[in-house]
Amino acid sequence: MISRRLAVSLLSLVFLVTIVFFMIHATPGGPAYSILGMHASPQAVAALNRQMGLNQPLSVQYAIWWAHLFEGRLGYSYIQHIAVSRLLGTYTRRTLLLDLCALALAVLSALLVGMVQGYYADRALGKIIGFAQILFYALPVFFIGILLIYIFSIRLNWLPPGGIGHHGGMSQMRHLILPAVTLALPIGAGLSRYFGHQARQEYRLDYVRTARARGFSDLYVAYRHVLRNAVRPFITMVGMMIPALFVGGVLTESVFNYPGLGWLLWRSALDQDYPTLSAITLLIGILTIAGNLAADVLNSILDVRVRYE
Amino acid sequence: MRTVLSIENLKVVGYKGGRSCPIIEGITFNLEPGRTLAVVGESGCGKSITAAAILGLLPWGFTVSDGRIVLDGQNALSLPPREWRQLRGKRIGAVFQNPLAALNPSLPIWKQVIESAQLEEALTRKTARSRALQLLERVEVPHVASRLDDYPHQFSGGMRQRVAIALALARNPALLIADEPTTALDLITQAQILNMLKRLQEEQNLAILFITHDLSLVAEYADEVFVMYAGQEVERGSVSDLFASVAHPYTHALLRSIPRLTGSRYRLIDIEGVPPSPHSYTRGCRFASRCPRVIAACSATPPPRLGNDSHEAFCHHPHRVLAP
Ligand SMILES: Nc1ncnc2c1ncn2[C@@H]1O[C@H](COP(=O)(O)OP(=O)(O)OP(=O)(O)O)[C@@H](O)[C@H]1O
Ligand SMILES: [Mg+2]
């Protein structure tokens, strides 16, 4: 089971790398123009083509592309004047920090809210939660972001409206809170809706009645029995939310001026910095595949039945 | 003899289709240690709701609006919810119809069997496992020692029901509520499980509330019968008295017809029509519209109680006159 999922992940990876390769070659005028800009002189283009091996057949270039990837050579940003691989390091770290915080927030609140919703499914509280989920799921990230900035930074003056603060310590934490909450809200709403539905289904099953008939308290039944069964499909769902995390991240990082990958993606798109753009695309793709794989592996560790199949 | 459970004039109202209506009414019976009371009746007559009321596990929207549920001499309805909960498992055990879903799919069976003991006291893994083994041996799960770590899906339906019985009896309750425990099983497994329950009953002086559709099981496994129709009692008595002189036309029809499974529900194929829904429960005899012996009085006034404590019926026009 796990080996099959590993194979699928590897295959998606090859597919991703290939797609990004063709994406670069499909840019108008070829990669040299996209690197040097549309107004580059023919001499400069020819020189770059020679230097990068772009005058060779496509199949050879494809092989070179893979070789470069393995060496971590992702090209040179002529806008930032730095090798893309060196550029990405810091930005990736910041994005991972923000995204992991947001994901943890979203997952924890989804579990909590979902269990409450499942338990109160037929009652008013369950319906109120259902309404709130739709609301938060539908609100655009930039709207939530601006609203939070207005309330917590401008009105109350509790938290900074953007930036990253000093590295490490309280200042960085304080700068993280608003973007993390902004990013977590719609994702948490989606996840909790899914998990609430899952918990509700579990609550209807006979083993819950068995546990109650044995005199177990509602809280015990919830965490020992219901949570355990409802959480397995949920983990896969969390894996599937990772792309939404990156997409939401682009908007959140732009709104909060938080220099992570999403912010860089936005800047590079404005600057037509194609090497950086394709490198970020590749990186986000890889992180997505890795996230899904991690969810599947975690799931199969929890789900004994997967191992028996 | 002291009763384990005594139900007095129990009434449950529930919301059905947005309206509140009575689901069961005037239910009264006693259950003594070591005895089995069978509750029989067609689908929807309120058997499971009666059981749920006794367990304090009525579905959301259902409440006991009248009567008493006396367990161990105290009215459960006047207990704080927490104390009533503590009676479950300890004084009352319960098994239900569908053994395939009755166990938690993601816990090995030994952990489920030992769960209630572990909540009471800290057990080492070794003692816990050996106690789980004993509990499962009691319900005759074959080769238990090698199957402790198995998950529910690795057992057959009959075996799962045995495990479910082990869970219900883990703390030696005085009363077992068995809501159609063998309906989903084949006839041979059914007989094996019922015989095992009978043996456990004798060993532990267990009182059993046995809910079933199948009157043919009642003569063999029960001491008393309680026949329900549309949320009410129609006839009650000791097995010997009742079967010797069936008074109510509904019981009569039940005895003559073999319940057939149509879809997920049992229907009495020998009686025309279907039972009324709780919305249309009336003051008169609720069986009147389907009764072959119906007379003018039936739908007008509630049927009178006939007979005595060892055999009673509620009927205007019974098959037999019961001595008061
Ligand atoms: N969870 C529930 N929600 C709503 N209505 C219910 C619920 N459980 C039972 N009822 C209703 O209460 C009435 C009595 O149902 P009950 O389950 O007690 O019947 P039963 O005699 O156990 O039938 P069966 O033989 O099919 O198990 C029926 O009208 C039924 O529709
Ligand atoms: Mg039932």
Three-state SS letters, B109-143: HHHHHHHHHHHHCCCCHHHHHHHHHHHHHHCCCCC
Q: How far is the CA of A11 from the centre of ligand 1 (A)?
A: 52
Q: What is the pLDDT of residue B119?
A: 84
Quick check: helix, strand or coil at residue B73?
A: coil
Q: Which residues of A27-42 are buried (b: 16+ CB within 10 A; e: fewer)?
A: beeebbbbbbbeebee
Cβ neighbours, 10 Å, residue B121: 7
Name which of A206, A228, A304 is nearest B96 (Cβ-Cβ).
A206
pLDDT of residue A265: 87
Q: Which CATH number fits domain B5-229: 3.40.50.1580, 3.30.565.10, 3.40.190.150, 3.40.50.300?
A: 3.40.50.300
The beta-strand segments (E) located in A78-176 are: 82-83
Chain A closest CA to B56's CA: distance in Å?
9
- Range picked from A109-123, A225-239, B111-125 for highest mean pLDDT: A109-123
Q: What's the CATH superfamily of A91-308?
A: MetI-like (1.10.3720.10)
Q: Is the pTM of this model over 0.90?
A: no
Domain ranges, ordered by start, for chain A = 2-73, 91-308
Q: Do A225 and B93 touch (CB under 8 A)?
A: no
Pocket of ligand 1 (CB under 6 A): B 14, 16, 23, 41, 43-49, 59, 265, 278
The pLDDT of residue B264 is 47
Look at A81 and A230; give whichever has higher pLDDT.
A230
As for the ipTM of the complex, it is: 0.88
pLDDT at A309: 37
Q: What's the rounded Cα separation, in Å, for the pair B87 and A47?
A: 86
pLDDT at site A60: 83
Ion ligand 2 — residues with CB under 5 Å? Answer: B 48
Nearest to A186, CA basis, from A242, A150, A141, A131: A141
Burial bucket for residue A261 (CB in 10 Å: 0-12, 13-18, 19+): buried
Residue A303 or residue A186, greater confidence: A186
Average pLDDT, chain A: 84
Query: B55 and A305 in contact by Cβ < 8 A?
Result: no
CA distance A8 to chain B (A): 27
Residue with tokens 């990230």: A141
E-strand stretches of chain B: 5-16, 19-31, 36-40, 63-71, 74-75, 92-95, 175-179, 207-212, 224-229, 232-238, 260-262, 265-267, 305-308, 311-314
Q: Are A88 and A279 in contact (CB under 8 A)?
A: yes
Least confident of A83-92, A163-172, A242-251, B29-38: A163-172
Tally Cβ neighbours within 10 Å of residue B171: 17
Mean pLDDT value of segment A121-132 = 90
Q: Which residue has the tokens 């899904």?
A: A292
pLDDT of A306 reads 42
Say how many CA atoms lie within 13 Å of B176 toward its Cβ.
29
B19, B21, B49, B262: residue to mutate for ligand 1 pocket, most atoms within 8 A of CB: B49
And the tokens for A121?
A: 């499914």
10-residue stretch averages of pLDDT, chain B, 324 residues long:
89 86 94 95 92 93 93 90 89 90 91 89 89 92 90 91 93 94 86 93 95 87 95 95 92 75 53 83 91 90 92 93 82
**Mean pLDDT across A55-82:** 79
- Dihedral, CA of residue B183, residue B189, residue B193 and residue B199, to nearest 10: 140
> Which residue from A217, A220, A214, A207 is spatially nearest to B173, judged by alpha carbons?
A214
**Helix (H), strand (E) at residue A104:** helix A84-119
How many A from CA of B49 to the centre of ligand 1? 6
Q: pLDDT-derived band of residue A307, with 50, 70 and 90 as boundaries?
A: very low
The secondary structure of residue B13, as a DSSP letter, is E
Q: How far apart are the C-alpha atoms of B304 and B324, rounded to whole Å?
A: 12
Average pLDDT estimate for A35-48: 76
Token code pair at residue A141: 């990230």
**Bigger pLDDT: A170 vs A152:** A152
Diameter of chain B measured on Cα atoms: 70
Task: Kindly determine whether residue A304 and residue B151, on different chains, have CB atoms separated by under 8 Å.
Answer: yes
The answer to whether residue A262 scores a pLDDT higher than 80 is yes
Token output for A250: 């682009």
pLDDT higher than 70, residue A303: no
| Residue B290: φ, ψ to 5° | -110, -5
Pick from A106-120, A250-264, B13-27, B131-145 the range whose average pLDDT is largest: A106-120
Q: What is the Å distance from ligand 1's center to B230 Cα?
A: 11
- Using a CB-CB cut-off of 8 Å, the residues of chain A touching B58 are none
User: What pLDDT shows up at residue B162?
Assistant: 93
Domains of chain B by residue range:
5-229
Give me the pLDDT at residue A34, please.
66
Which of A217, A225, A232 is the closest to B85 by Cβ? A217
Which pLDDT score is estimated for A194? 92
B197 in contact with A, Cβ within 8 Å: no
β-pair type (B207-212, B36-40):
parallel
The answer to whether the CB of B227 falls within 8 A of the CB of B40 is yes
| For A210, nearest residue in chain B (alpha carbons) | B102
- The residue among B47, B42, B2 whose CA lies nearest residue B178 is B47
